[in-house]
Amino acid sequence: MAEVILTDTGKKPISFWLPVVAAAGAFAGIFVGTANGSTLAGVLGGAILVGLLGFLAIEMLGRPMEKTVRWAIVALFVVGGFLLGGIPGAVVGGLFGWFYGWFIYWIGYNRYRAKLVPYLTPGQVLWHYAFRVICGAIFVFLITPILVVMPLSFNAENFFTFTPEMLSFDPAGYSLRHYRDFFYSSDWQQALWNSVSIAPVATLLAVSFGTLAAIGLSSEHVPFRRAIMAVLISPMIVPLIISAAGMYFFYSRIGLQGTYVGVVLAHAALGIPFVIITVTATLVGFDRSLTRASANLGAGPVRTFFKVQMPLILPGVISGGLFAFITSFDEVVVVLFVGSAGQKTLPWQMFIGLREQISPTILAVATILVAISICLLTTVELLRRRSERLRGMSPG
Amino acid sequence: MKFTKMLLATTALTATAGVASAQDMADEMTLVSWGGAYQNSQQKAYVEPYLENHPEVSVTWDESSNEAVAKLRAMNEAGNITWDLVDVVASDAIRLCDEGLAMEYDPEDLLAEGDDGSSAEDDFGDMIVSDCFIPQIAYSTTFGYRTDMVPDGADAPDDICDVFDLETYPGKRALEKRPINNMEWALLCDGVAKDEIYDVLATPEGQQQALDKLDTIKDDVIWWSAGADTPQLLADGEVFMGSTYNGRLFSVIEEQDQPVAMMWDAQVFDLDGWIIPTGLPEDRLARVKDFVKFATDTQRLADQAKYISYGPARKSSAPLVGEHAELGIDMKPHMPTNPENATNTFVYNYEFWADYRDDIDAKFQSWLAQ
């Protein structure tokens, strides 16, 4: 997108930018100060330091020197961070320096209004940015637990701890031993194999039954459509532990408990609702007259389904299938009940590992699973875009 | 017709398989244990040698000992026992035995004689705390502390009451989130004589006294529920000292090389062993009996101590305890039963806790929530 400047940028009065910039400095000072013993000193120090830098940058050196000043601030913070916290401190300091260099000019020269329409009130501008900061904070809140796991999985120690070596980026603090443990331990490999052999079959069953059910339920002549739909969706709504206990006793009586088939069927039942929902949603956009046209040209229902209907609803089927796959792949409660030790899946093995022995191998597996999940979700998104494009809903 | 043929074929197959394994023993066994280093020691000390002698057998591990009581109840209700041999602590064995979920056995018949010729009953002695319990090891719940967090000028903690001494030893402590052991330790450090502790603890005033003592350190306690928690907290430096099973501390100190040391004072002994679920079919029971006889003989129990610092339950195994299989260090000084470590010990009081557990648990939990 081209840079459009809607509102003129000019120097702001010092009575406005100095308090804002100092407050921002004080905010970071809270953390630095607390980490080094005195919160109050941190707040004051941060406010004074950043305020002074701002004064120097905006009132004395001004816009022509911007590049130099910003690099100087980064350098200053890197050195300061290094003195306080070694190499990790320097990295954090560098990030802070970059941010404050940018922030001082952003506030001081009214740049925050540059891309906004001129008639906004200060309150509206404030909300514009506050809204983005809140969204960012929620995003950080959601993603941080996953991100923290990833570096920890390269820990050279056998604990869930950022060792001093790791924090100072010493290569000796990192290792692939937990990945090696995963790939060489027969327990984990058996669990991986179980997961890999259960999930696709369960997915296949869920997709076949779910798609058929969705097609059936979307035709108007079926009686009690809503009731049937509710029953089929129920595994998604009923608490998992209830389904699991029920399945345990039922499957025990009919001899399916502790068997591969039992686990596959249980996982298929959990996956079907996802397929029904996505396929039903796709069928809304499906033109029924196409099936009539196909029938008119002499194709039987089966041929019509595979040649006409299936290709058009395929994106819904595939994304439902992916959800069913992930459900089976991530599921731990039902398999603990319905499976026996011979069907120990990856989540089961992780559950044991976490309870009995806090080993970072779990983190290594988690990292691998996150990577797989990201790949699957990217596929879903690409398929969704493709289907929109094919149906002419978006120009891209 | 077809069905009859199939039936015949299956019968024939089963018959041949039966002949192959000598006396109608099942070829598959599901063993239930605790996972981690402990299960590994069982795998190395008895399962692998057994499989070498019986290549036709396959063993599956289920790491469900934690919820063994609940799961066995469910299996019994569903009439579908999928476990063959279950590793549980003695108190769970007593419960399972009372409920009829574990099989009673005759030691002389099921267990091998000691290497020194003593009968199985004498060799295990009073370790057989229940008619269903087949003892394997004695472990203890004791404290470990960070050697690098001992305050300057203070001696290393060597007394259970140092846990309650926040002045000399400031810092967090990790204690198990249940009254057992904690209540005893609290009373001991509140001036109650060791042999009167359970008499005092049986009274509501005594229970309150223990909770009051625990109250003095409550703000500095991190409560743990899994055996792996304290090692993690110690390795993190999150706590100065913490209680856990002695084998876990051995692993932190010797295998993971963390700056942690043992404090053996007032360690609490407990037992761990097998139970055989009731209602196993004939062929599976025969296999389990064969395995148990092998897995609890003198040499096998002594071998287990090569992998983990828990004391063998047989008297005749004690002299055979040698060096750690990988580290090559002498295991005797790391055993909870070693005389130097066992100067002041408790033995888990099964009868007392069987009678008072529910009551004291409720008090303890409501105290925790205050």
**CATH of residue B79:** 3.40.190.10
Instruction: Kindly state whether residues B110 and B242 are assigned to the same domain.
Output: no
For each of the domains in chain A, give its residue range(s) and CATH number, in order of start: 1-119 (no CATH), 185-359 (1.10.3720.10)
Greater confidence (A71 vs A38) lies with A71
Residue B242 lies in a domain: yes
Question: Do B118 and B172 belong to one domain?
Answer: no
Q: Tell me what pLDDT residue B15 has.
A: 44
Check whether residue B359 and residue B220 sit in a common domain.
Answer: yes
- Range with top average pLDDT, A20-29, A268-277, B19-28: A268-277
Burial class (CB in 10 A: 0-12, 13-18, 19+), A307: exposed
- Tell me which residue has tokens 């400095």: A25
Choose from A9-18, B111-120, B131-140 the range with maximum mean pLDDT.
B131-140
Does B17 have pLDDT greater than 70? Answer: no
pLDDT band, very low/low/confident/very high, at B128 (cuts 50, 70, 90): confident
Testing the interface with B: which of A259, A357, A359, A362 to mutate, by most B Cβ within 10 A?
Answer: A357
Whether pLDDT at A10 is above 80: no
Measured between CA atoms, how close is A336 to chain B, in angstroms? 10
B146 shares a domain with B116: no
CB contact under 8 A, A159 and B60: no
The answer on pLDDT for A386 being more than 90 is: no
B147, B235: one domain: yes
In chain B, which residue's Cα lies nearest the Cα of A348? B63
Å from A103 to nearest chain B CA?
37
Does residue B146 lie within any of the structural domains?
A: yes
pLDDT of residue A198: 95
pLDDT of B144: 94
Q: A3: pLDDT confidence band, cut at 50, 70 and 90?
A: low
Nearest to B228 among A341, A344, A356 (CB): A356
Per-residue pLDDT reduced to its tens digit, A187-207: 899 999 999 999 999 999 999
pLDDT at A369: 84
Contact (Cβ atoms closer than 8 angstroms) between residue B59 and residue B26: no
pLDDT recorded at residue B338: 81
Tell me, yes or no, whether B327 lies in a domain. no
Mark whether B157 and B30 lie in a shared domain: no
Closest chain A C-alpha to B64 CA, distance in angstroms:
8
Is residue B332 in some structural domain? no
* Confidence at B9, pLDDT banded by 50, 70, 90: very low
Q: Is residue B98 part of a domain?
A: yes
| Nearest by CB: A160 against B74, B77, B232 | B232
Residue of B79, B236, B256 with shortest CB distance to A158: B256
Same domain (yes/no): B78, B167: no
Domain count, chain B: 2
b/e B56-88 (16+ beta carbons within 10 angstroms → b) = ebebbbbbbbbebbebbebbbebebbbbbbbbb
Residues B79 and B23 reside in one and the same domain: yes
Burial string for A113-126 (b: 16+ CB within 10 Å, else e) reads beeeeeeeeeeeee
- pLDDT band, very low/low/confident/very high, at A393 (cuts 50, 70, 90): low
| Mean of all residue pLDDT scores within chain A | 87
Residues of B in contact with A358 (CB under 8 A): 226, 228-229, 231-232
Residue of A nearest to B81 (CA): A252
Distance from CA of B48 to the nearest CA of A (A): 14
Task: Inspect the interface and report whether the beta carbons of B34 and A356 lie closer than 8 Å.
Answer: yes
* Among the partner residues A258, A340, A352, nearest to B35 by beta-carbon distance: A352
Residue A380 or residue B175, greater confidence: B175
Distance to chain A for B229, nearest Cα, Å: 7
Query: Do residues A320 and A381 lie in contact, with contact meaning Cβ atoms separated by under 8 Å?
Result: no
Confidence of residue A5 (pLDDT cuts 50, 70, 90): low
Contact of B35 with chain A, judged by CB distance below 8 Å, is answered with: yes
pLDDT for B19 beyond 80:
no
The whole-number pLDDT of residue B36 equals 78
Containing structural domain, residue B349? 141-270+341-369
**Shared domain check, B150 and B120:** no
Q: Are strands B221-224 and B173-176 parallel, antiparallel or unpaired?
A: parallel
Which residue did the predictor score with more confidence, B203 or B16?
B203
Dist. CA B167–CA B157, nearest whole Å: 12
* pLDDT band of B229, cuts 50, 70, 90: confident
pLDDT at A1: 41
Q: Provide the number of CB pairs (under 8 Å) joining chain A to chain B.
A: 67
Q: Is A158 on the interface with B (CB under 8 A)?
A: yes
Q: What angle do CA A332, A334, A338 make, to 5 degrees?
A: 120
Q: Is the pLDDT of residue B11 over 80?
A: no
- Show the tokens assigned to B214: 């625990």
Kindly report the pTM of this predicted structure: 0.77
pLDDT of residue A267: 95
Answer yes or no: do B233 and B295 share one domain: no
Say yes or no: B169 and B315 in one domain: no
Paired strand residues for B243:
B143
Does B280 share its domain with B265?
no
